[in-house]
Amino acid sequence: MDANAQWVTAGTALLGTAAGVLGALALLRRRALMGDVLAHAALPGIAAAFLLTGSKAPGPLLTGAAVAGVVGTGAMAAITRYSRLKEDAAMSLVLTVFFGMGIMLLGVVQRMPGGNQSGLDTFLFGQAAAIVPRDLQAITLMAGALCLMVLALYKEFKLLAFDREFGAGLGLPMGRLDLLLNLGLVLAVVTGLESVGVVLMAALLTTPALAARCWTDRLSTMLPLAGLFGALSGVAGTLLSQVGPRMPTGPLIVLAATFLFAVSLLAAPRRGLVARLIRMARTQARVRGERLLEALYDLSEEAASTGAPTVVTLADLEQRRGLSARWARPTLMRLVRAGMVERAGLTDPGGPPAGEEPPAVWRLTPRGLAEAYRVAHRERLHVVYLMHQAAVGGPFGPEVYPQLEPVLRLHGLEPRLLPGEPGEGVG
């Protein structure tokens, strides 16, 4: 890797780190669009700076972008404070108005003599390959300052993100902290304009934070993780841009960040889609199992009360509990593997038609009976709770079970097939 590639890699990694950390705070402030707003708000500042100075030097153009970003932040704060519009509406308004102004001013620039060669397209789509040691020094200072700011004001920003009113009650200047966070975002946007451009800087502020949010619920973990994802995106995008000629670095950085987000969205242990599907499947299996156990318990209880064997067939489940054999068979096999149900070794008491194989009969094992008793007891308490909800005066749960037990016995609904060998504990 040559020296220029090292400068670009280091610059984009530092830029991604700072953008990830600040973007995480903005995301938790429910201002995920803030980076998008500030990036687009910088566009008219760049064009206006060129119209005023006639120079395409980075200094005046970035100064114009910073001023426009601050004006956009102030406009959004004024709109939310002095109108009935909410923050999302204010951000959308500022984004569209400033971007429209930027496009209009760019049209004016293009009609000027030499406008096509003004170099403003560099700030639209980025030119990371143009990073030189001077730019790397500026990015290092910016990233270090922003990360130190977040580290020094970690507790204050934490209150700003989660409980602004409580922080104000403690006497903290939450309005100034909010403004400081927005100015940090403006600084990050302005610094990244040359590398990834106006359009793509918003993605670098948002995507690593979203990826980190998939992995953790703790702010102390999310902030460094977002910074790490931002740095990895910068390094990966820069390395990929060197694979072929004329590969744009900025879009590749954003694509790398998007890839990390996609992996996080799928594979994160708690918030990932795969983990969510597994949890849903386990919940459905548990509900199916409890429903079948309750049906087996009810039928066994009825049989025990008449002195008949406490065995059940698939035909009993379908005809007397409405559970089809197609639905019940796989759940029944799972309960057998769990040691809760077993074949009784008996034939259907009614006897099969001549020439047909007798259907299998099933019964609860002692372990299955104990679990089925627990499920049936809870469900019957729930029925009683629905009948007397107004008198109970609380949500259904173990806390109200003592109030419901006498009512359960009053209605004669208490489970009578007690845990033990089926048939032995019938009251």
Cα 49 from Cα 393, distance rounded (Å): 67
pTM here is 0.75
Longest pairwise C-alpha distance within the chain? 103
Mean pLDDT of 323-352: 78
Structure tokens at 175: 């309005």
CA distance to 11, 90, 287, 326, 346, per residue, from 329 (Å): 61, 57, 15, 6, 18
Does residue 427 register a pLDDT over 50?
no
Phi, psi at 307, each rounded to 5°: 85, 5
CB 221 within 8 A of CB 96: no
Q: Is residue 376 predicted with pLDDT exceeding 80? A: yes
Query: What mean pLDDT is predicted for residues 370-391?
Result: 90
Distances 343 to 313, 319, 387, 419, 425 between C-alpha atoms, Å: 10, 20, 37, 18, 20
Give Cα separations from 315 to 53, 202, 325 (angstroms). Answer: 88, 62, 7
Q: To which H or E segment does residue 313 belong?
A: strand 312-313
Residue 370 — pLDDT band, cuts 50, 70, 90?
very high
Instruction: Measure CA 205 to chain center.
Output: 16
Write out pLDDT tens, residues 236-265: 988 888 877 777 777 888 889 999 999 999
pLDDT of 280 reads 93
Residue 118 has pLDDT above 70, yes or no: no
Closest to 309 (Cα-Cα) out of 252, 349, 350: 349
Produce one character per residue of 265-304: b if its CB has 16 or more CB atoms within 10 Å, e if not: beebeeebeeeeeeeeeeeeeeebbbbbbbbbbbbbbebb
Nearest 5°: the CA angle 264, 269, 272 is 45
pLDDT at position 120 is: 66
N-terminal to C-terminal alpha carbon distance within the chain: 83
Amino acid letter, residue 242: Q
Average pLDDT for 387-416: 85
